[in-house]
Structure 1
Amino acid sequence: MKQTAEVNAAKTAVVVGAGFGGLAAALRLLARGYTVDLLEKHDDMGGRARTLTLDGHSFDAGPTVITAPFLFAELFERFGESFEDHVTLLPVSPFYRMDFADGSHFDYQSTTEALIEEIERLSPGEGEQYLHFLKAADAMYDRGFTELAQRPFTRIADMLEVLPDLIKLRADRSIYQFVSRFFKDERLRRAFSVPSLLVGGNPFHTSALYALIHALERKSGVWYVQGGTGALVTALAELFQRHGGGLHLRQSVKYLEMDGLNVSAAVTDQGKRFGADLLVSNADPLYVYDQWIERTTRQRLADSHRGRLKQSMGLFVLYFTTERVYSDLAHHTIVFGETFREILTEIFQQRQIPDDLSLYLHRPAATDPTMAPANGDAFYVLAPVPNLQGDQDWDKITPDVEQHIIRILTQRLMPDLPQQIRAKRSISPTYFHTELNSPFGSGFSIAPTLTQSAGLRFHNQSPRYRNLFFVGAGVHPGAGVPGVVCSAGVVERLVVRTFEADTGKYASKSGASGKKNERIFD
C-alpha cells in the first residue's frame, strides 16, 4: 500500500455522499494515496443507513443487519487495522421469522440441520429438497457474487462474455420460479423468494441470480452491529478521518463543474468548490445526470432512455417505541399478507397501495438490549409500497397508512399495541426523494431484473465523462449493503485502469468517442 500511496500522492478525489458506498470508495482511494474529500449534504452520515432519534432513543433508519462482514474487514485491513477492534458484531438467531396469514410460522435458522428440521415441521417431506436448493443457490453465489460482484462492466463485450454462464444457470427465470423448482408448499416458496424484496425486486420478475443472497447469508451469517448499524457508519468515518481523509458535512452539491468531458470540481449550495482529478458519486446516477450536469439538447435526447428504466418499489417505514417489552418477538419478523403475487402486482404494476400489506418488523433489542428504551421496546416496521410513480399524496395519506400498519400488527402479533405505543414517526417515498435524492422515491434505485443487472445497470464509470464514477444501489452489482460496498471495489479497479495503468491504451479502447466498444448505457 505504501508504494501505491506514494505514486498517487499528488492525485485528488472528491466523493459525494457518505452512505456505505461513498464511505467505502473514499477509504479505498485514501488507501491508494489519493487526497480525498468526502462531501455529505446532511449533518449526519450513512445515506439510507442514517440514524434517527425518537422518544430520546436512536433508531437505525435503514439497513438492519450485516451479511458480508468481510467486506468491511477488508477496508480496515487496508490501513493495517482490525475491524474487530472497532466494531462488535452480534449473531442474529433466527435469521428471520416468517409469519403467515393462516397462523403458521417458519423460522429461517442459521444451520442446515435446524433449517431442514424447520422445513419438515412446516411441510413434511420437503426437508430433503433444501439441500438441492442450497446447491443451486451456491452456484448462483459462485458466479454472481464471487466472480462478478467486483468485476467492472463497462462495455457490451463485458456482458456478452458472461452471458453463456447466466443462460446455463437459467438466470432468465424469476427467483420465485427458481424456488418453486424445489418446494411445493406455497409458504416455503414465499419464504425463500422474499429476499429479493430486500433489494427492491419483485420476486416474480427479479432474476434467479439473486438466490445468491440466501447462499451469502448461509456462508457469512446474519449479524447485527452492537449499538446499531449507525455504529458501523461512525467507525468507517472515524477510520477515514484517522488516516487523513477530509469529511465535509452540510455540503450539498449544486452542480458539477466541467472541463470538456471531464469533471473538474463539485460546487455546493454553500458556495464551496471542491476540485479533483476524479469524482465518485454515491448519489443516484439518474439524479446526477439530470441535476448536476448541464447537457445539450442532443445529449438529453440520447440519455432519455434512463427515465424509462424500471424502478424498485417505494418504502413506507414506521418507527415506534412501546411502554412494555415484547420479548416473544424475534429480531426480524416478516408478516405475509393473505396474498402474495396479487400484493406485488398492485405495488409494482398497478402502483397502488394494497389493503393486504405484507410487513417487515425489526426488533433490534432481541439481539442488542441497548437498542430499546428502559422498561420498553423499540421497533421499525417496513411496508413495500409504490414509489412516487404511483402519484400518491403521501402527506395526506400517511396517517391512514400508519394506522393500517398498526392494525395489522395488532391482529397478527401484538394484540395490545395501540395501548402500548409511546411515540411514533414515519417516512414515505417522499423522504427518499427529498432527503436521499432518489428521483422517483424508490427505496433501492432501479429494480434488479435480469435486463437491469451487471453490465445492464447504470455503469460504475460514466461512458461520457471519463473521470466520473458511481457507487451505490443503482449501479453494478446492485442494492443491499454487500452490493453497495462491492460497488466501491469496482470503482477502485476502474480508477486503477484509468489513471494508474496505461491510460492512453484504456482511453482508446473504451473512451467516450470510441464506437468499437460502445457502452449500452451509463
Structure 2
Amino acid sequence: MRKTVAILGSGFSSLAAACYLAQQGNDVTIYEKNETIGGRARQFKEDGFTFDMGPSWYWMPDVFDRFFADFNKKTASYYELIKLNPAYRVYFGADDFIAIYDNLEEIKATFESIEKGSGKKLQKFIDSAKSNYDIAIKDLVYRPGISPLELVTPKTILKLNQFLGSVSQDIRKEFKNEKLIQILEFPVLFLGAKPTKTPSFYNFMNYADFGLGTWHPKTGMFDVVLGIQKLALELGVKIKTNAAIDKIVVENKTAVGIISNKEFIPADIILSGADYQHTETLLEKEHRAYSEKYWQSRVFAPSSLLFFLGFNKKIADISHHALFFDTDFNQHAVDIYDKPKWPDEPLFYANFPSKTDQTAAPDGMESGFFLIPLAPGINDSEELREAYFNKIISRFEKITKQEIKSSIIFKKSFCKNDFVNDYNACKGNAYGMANTLLQTAFLRPKLKSKKVRNLYFTGQLTVPGPGVPPALISGKLAAELIQKSLKAKK
C-alpha cells in the first residue's frame, strides 16, 4: 500500500532515502529549511566564483556506483568524474611537501625515497586495509545497527584483534618517519576521531585513499547533489525548500505528521535526515529517546572554521587539495578532543577547485577555501575568525613563497555558529559523531525511534557514521528498515 513519507532535510542521506522510498512505491516529499538543497553539501555562487560549502573529497567511488546501480542507473549518467593527480599534497614547511599521486606504485616509490624499506611495508599495510575495506564497505556498513550480532561474521572474528588496537599503533609499528606516519594517519580524521582512538580495523580508509584514489566531480561536489536530486525527481519525489519543521506531531505514541510554516502536514512515515539531536527537540520530552545528558556525553567529530575566498589571480604551484601539517599534529588533536580550545598553531586544509574546474572562477582568477578543524561547542566570534584567518594566510604565504592576501577580492567565513544556525548542528559539529569503538554500529543512535512509531532517522549521527559515502548508505538502511516495518504490518 502506498504510504505518505515526509523527509526532513535534503542532505545526502535524505536524498538517498527519498530515492529508495519512492522506488518502493511511496509518496515522498522532502522538506528543506534552507533556500537550496544539499544540507552541508550546499553550493553558493558570488561574484563569478563557485563554492561547495561542505564535502570536497570524493572518495569510495564504488559506494556511489552501488547507489546508482540500485536503480539500474550508472553514475556517469548523472555526473562526470575526474581523477586527481596528484590526489593531494601535504606541506610540512617551505620547500618541504610530499605529493600523493593517483596510483599505489608511485606512492610506494615516494615512501621508499623517504624511508628505506617503507615501500614494501606500505604494500603490506594497504593489502590489510583492502581486506578490511572489502569486509566493511561491501558488507558491514550495510547493516542497520540493531544488534551487536551484525558485527559477528567468520571474517570479522578473524579480525577481532583489530578492534582492540588503534590505527596509530599499527602505523607506528611499521613506519618511523613522522611525515609518513602523519600522511597515513590523516584519512581516519574523516571518521571524526584521533588516530589513537580509532580502532585498527578502520585502516580501510587508507585503501580508500591510496587504493581507490581521490576524484572530483567535474564542476564540484554539488554535481553529486544535483545528480541524486535528478534521480529523485525521476522517481517522483517532491522537494520543498524554505520549509523548516516546527514540530513532529505524535498521537498515541505514533508520528502522524509535521508542522511546517505553521501548517500541519499529515504523513504515514516521518524520516529525519536533519540533525538527530535537533530532531528530537521537535518532539515533546516524553517522546525523546536520548536525553540532553546523552548528547553532551558523546564524542563529536570536529567543527570547522572555513573561509571561502576569491582571488583576482592564479595561485602558483599549489595542488587542488593541500594539507598544511607544518605545526604539531598531536597538539592540535589535543586541542580538539582532550582539552577543547582554539589551537595556538592549527593545522589547516586548502582547496582550490578552480585548479580542476575552470568554471569555479572567472578567467585568470582562482577560487579556494581554507579549513581549520576545531573542537565542537567552541566559542565563536568574528574577532577570533579574523585572527585565525591572518594566522593561516601568513603561513600559507610563507610556505608557498607567494603573497596572496592582497589578491583576495571575495571572502566569506563559516564557523560553529553558522553550523548551528544553518543546520541545527549539535555543538556546531561539522562531521557528525566520531566513529570511536564505543560509538560504532549498534552503539550509535538508532535509525528507528525507540519511543515513537513511524519515526525514523538517517544521517551522520546515526548508522553507519560521518562522511558522504556513509550518508548514502545510511539513507538506504533507513529506507530498508521502513520497508521492512511496512511489510510486517500487512
TM-score by length of 2: 0.94
- Does 2:262 match 1:275? no
Report the Cα distance in structure 2 between the residues aligned to 1:302 and 1:114, rounded to whole angstroms: 50
Report the Cα distance in structure 2 between the residues aligned to 1:207 and 1:267, rounded to whole angstroms: 42
Can you list the C-alpha shifts for 1:72-111, whole angstroms capped at 9, x where unaligned?
Answer: 3444445454432221111111222111137422222221
1:351 CA displacement: 1.0
1:246 CA displacement: 1.0
1:278 CA displacement: 1.4
Q: Say which SS state the counterpart of residue 460 (structure 2) adopts.
A: coil
- Does 2:433 match 1:446? yes
- Does 2:22 match 1:16? no
Report the Cα distance in structure 2 between the residues aligned to 1:453 and 1:56, rounded to whole angstroms: 42
1:417 CA displacement: 1.2
Residue 278 of structure 2 is aligned with which of 284, 287, 299?
287
Against the structure 1 CA distance between its residues 464 and 167, is the aligned structure 2 distance closer, same or farther, given a 3 Å change threshold?
Answer: farther
1:54 CA displacement: 3.2
Q: Residue 226 of structure 2 aligns with which residue? A: 234
Structure 1 stretches lacking a partner, 5+ long: 1-7, 505-522
Q: Residue 55 of structure 2 aligns with which residue? A: 63
Q: Residue 462 of structure 2 aligns with which residue? A: 475
Q: Say which SS state the counterpart of residue 181 (structure 1) adopts.
A: helix
- Does 2:279 match 1:308? no
Q: 1:89–1:223: 8 Å Cα contact kept in structure 2?
A: yes
Q: Residue 313 of structure 2 aligns with which residue? A: 324
Q: Residue 486 of structure 1 aligns with which residue? A: 473
Report the Cα distance in structure 1 between the residues aligned to 2:157 and 2:417, rounded to whole angstroms: 39
Report the Cα distance in structure 1 between the residues aligned to 2:189 and 2:219, rounded to whole angstroms: 26
Can you list the C-alpha shifts for 1:32-69, whole angstroms capped at 9, x where unaligned?
Answer: 11110111001101111111223331101111132233
Against the structure 1 CA distance between its residues 166 and 348, is the aligned structure 2 distance closer, same or farther, given a 3 Å change threshold?
Answer: farther
Q: Residue 133 of structure 1 aligns with which residue? A: 125
Report the Cα distance in structure 1 between the residues aligned to 2:339 and 2:292, rounded to whole angstroms: 26
Can you list the C-alpha shifts for 1:228-270, whole angstroms capped at 9, x where unaligned?
Answer: 11122122212212332111111001110012222111211x1
Q: Say which SS state the counterpart of residue 149 (structure 1) adopts.
A: helix
- Does 2:354 match 1:362? no
Report the Cα distance in structure 2 between the residues aligned to 1:494 and 1:326, rounded to whole angstroms: 48
**CA RMSD for the aligned pairs?**
2.2
Can you list the C-alpha shifts for 1:468-510, whole angstroms capped at 9, x where unaligned?
Answer: 222211111111111111111211221232112x349xxxxxx
Against the structure 1 CA distance between its residues 86 and 164, is the aligned structure 2 distance closer, same or farther, given a 3 Å change threshold?
Answer: closer
Q: Residue 4 of structure 1 aligns with which residue? A: none
Report the Cα distance in structure 1 between the residues aligned to 2:290 and 2:71, rounded to whole angstroms: 45
The aligned amino acid for 1:395 is E
- Does 2:109 match 1:117? yes
Structure 2 stretches lacking a partner, 5+ long: none
Alignment of 1:11-50 (within 5 A): 11-50=3-42
Can you list the C-alpha shifts for 1:198-249, whole angstroms capped at 9, x where unaligned?
Answer: 2322222222232212223445432111111112212221221233211111
Q: 1:255–1:267: 8 Å Cα contact kept in structure 2?
A: yes
Q: Say which SS state the counterpart of residue 270 (structure 2) adopts.
A: strand
The aligned amino acid for 2:276 is P
1:367 CA displacement: 2.0
Q: Say which SS state the counterpart of residue 265 (structure 1) adopts.
A: strand
Report the Cα distance in structure 2 between the residues aligned to 1:296 and 1:217, rounded to whole angstroms: 44
The aligned amino acid for 1:404 is K
Report the Cα distance in structure 1 between the residues aligned to 2:470 and 2:398, rounded to whole angstroms: 36
Q: Say which SS state the counterpart of residue 198 (structure 1) adopts.
A: helix
Q: 2:315–2:404: 8 Å Cα contact kept in structure 1?
A: no
Q: Say which SS state the counterpart of residue 330 (structure 1) adopts.
A: coil
- Does 2:205 match 1:213? yes
Identity of aligned residues (%): 24
Report the Cα distance in structure 1 between the residues aligned to 2:291 and 2:90, rounded to whole angstroms: 45
Report the Cα distance in structure 2 between the residues aligned to 1:44 and 1:172, rounded to whole angstroms: 43
Q: Say which SS state the counterpart of residue 472 (structure 2) adopts.
A: helix
Report the Cα distance in structure 2 between the residues aligned to 1:154 and 1:416, rounded to whole angstroms: 54
Report the Cα distance in structure 2 between the residues aligned to 1:45 and 1:469, rounded to whole angstroms: 20
- Does 2:363 match 1:374? yes
Can you list the C-alpha shifts for 1:391-433, whole angstroms capped at 9, x where unaligned?
Answer: x242332211211121121111252112222221111111111
Report the Cα distance in structure 2 between the residues aligned to 1:207 and 1:495, rounded to whole angstroms: 31
Q: Residue 343 of structure 1 aligns with which residue? A: 332
Q: 1:321–1:422: 8 Å Cα contact kept in structure 2?
A: yes
The aligned amino acid for 2:128 is A
Q: 1:433–1:441: 8 Å Cα contact kept in structure 2?
A: yes
Q: Say which SS state the counterpart of residue 170 (structure 1) adopts.
A: helix
Q: Residue 195 of structure 2 aligns with which residue? A: 203
Q: Residue 447 of structure 2 aligns with which residue? A: 460
Report the Cα distance in structure 2 between the residues aligned to 1:177 and 1:38, rounded to whole angstroms: 44
Against the structure 1 CA distance between its residues 140 and 15, is the aligned structure 2 distance closer, same or farther, given a 3 Å change threshold?
Answer: same
Alignment of 1:503-518 (within 5 A): 503=489
Q: 1:52–1:60: 8 Å Cα contact kept in structure 2?
A: yes
Residue 382 of structure 2 is aligned with which of 395, 410, 426?
395
Q: 2:143–2:150: 8 Å Cα contact kept in structure 1?
A: no
Report the Cα distance in structure 2 between the residues aligned to 1:260 and 1:396, rounded to whole angstroms: 49
Against the structure 1 CA distance between its residues 338 and 66, is the aligned structure 2 distance closer, same or farther, given a 3 Å change threshold?
Answer: closer
The aligned amino acid for 2:282 is W
